[in-house]
A = this chain, B = another copy of it.
Amino acid sequence: MWRIGTGGCIVKKEMSFEALELIASRFKVLAEPMRLKLLHELSSGERSVTELIEATGASQANVSKHLGILLEAGLVKRRKDKLNAYYSIADESVFKLCEVVCGSLAEHLETKRKLVG
């Protein structure tokens, strides 16, 4: 995508629905707070599943499932050592995305605050 904008990105006249579905599915992966928490935790370095369970307070099965989703999406990578599985960030772009969202949200909330009071 999408247009000439900040960062000099490319204009595309047509955008296939398949492409849009692909992009949407990436956003969907990031659309869960628990997965964001996992990514946030991993932002400071590799963690074992056990460590992530402790850090998030979520159940073991839940953490494992979310990690599977992040892995499938290519956002994290997995390393097995003895009994443990260690996860780490595989795609730094997630931080860029969150940064952009944070900026936009701050502005949006500020606007709303001004309007609503």
Q: Which of A24-73 contact B (CB under 8 A)?
A: 24-28, 30-33, 35-37, 39-40, 43-44, 73
**Residue from B22, B37, B95, B101 in contact with A3 in the complex, judged by beta carbons closer than 8 Å:** B95
A23 touches which of B3, B21, B105 (Cβ 8 Å): B105
Give the secondary structure class of A's interface: helix
- Copies per complex of this chain: 2
Chain B residues whose C-beta falls within 8 Å of the C-beta of A30 in the assembled complex: 24, 27, 31
Task: Evaluate whether A20 and B33 lie within 8 angstroms (CB atoms) in the complex, with A101-B26, A101-B27, A105-B26 already known.
Answer: yes
Q: What's the nearest-Cβ distance from chain B to residue A54, in Å?
A: 15
Residues in chain B near residue A2, CB distance under 8 A:
39-40, 43, 95, 98-99, 102
